[in-house]
Structure 1
């Protein structure tokens, strides 16, 4: 993996639970790691979902240095959007990591 290709910055977010002043648990996303990354592919496709009609689905494939403990429960923030990690594959014997992710739709 060549460091010159790692020209973008991504943030890995991890869910954590905090206790509100009322004493109830609340789940929040916190920054876990900031990494340099290579964007392999960024694409948008129109997908038909049930009766809701067609929606745009944005997907992202990125490569970065290996990060131990990364799971599908984490998510990626890149270029102002948040993406759910669908797959994280080690490359070059744990020297690098390739992630496939899909954009999270904003709630109206």
Structure 2
């Protein structure tokens, strides 16, 4: 993984449930990891849902191996957009992490 290709800043967030004093449960997204990334692939896949035509933006983000454990329950923020993590793959022996994500509509 070349440092010169890690040109984009991404933040990975984890959802936590906070309970207020009154007993209300609130879902809060807290920052877990901020990293430099290479956006390797950014495509738009068109699909048909019934009679409505839509699209889903998908991307692959390559980052150095993070200290924190990341899962598909987490989400990613990049360029002002929210991305749901759909897949994770280790690059080498903990050299890097490939994150596959879909943009939140």
TM over 0.5: yes
Superimposed CA distance per residue, residues 32-73 of structure 1 (whole angstroms, 9 cap, x where no aligned partner): 11100000011112211235x111210010100112410000
Q: Unpaired runs of 5+ in structure 2?
A: none
1:60 corresponds to: 59
Paired residue secondary structure (1:37): strand
Aligned residue pairs total: 104
- Within 1, Cα distance between the matches of 2:49 and 2:80? 25
Superposition pairs for residues 93-108 of structure 1, below 5 Å?
A: 93-105=93-105
Structure 1 segments of 4 or more deviating over 6 A? none
- Within 2, Cα distance between the matches of 1:3 and 1:92? 16
2:18 corresponds to: 18
2:83 pairs with 1:89:
no
1:21 Cα offset (Å): 4.4
Paired residue secondary structure (2:71): coil
Give TM-score scaled by structure 2 length. Answer: 0.92
- Within 2, Cα distance between the matches of 1:77 and 1:87? 15
Paired residue secondary structure (2:23): coil
- Within 1, Cα distance between the matches of 2:50 and 2:102? 19
1:79 Cα offset (Å): 0.7
Please give the root-mean-square deviation of Cα atoms over the aligned residues, in Å: 1.2
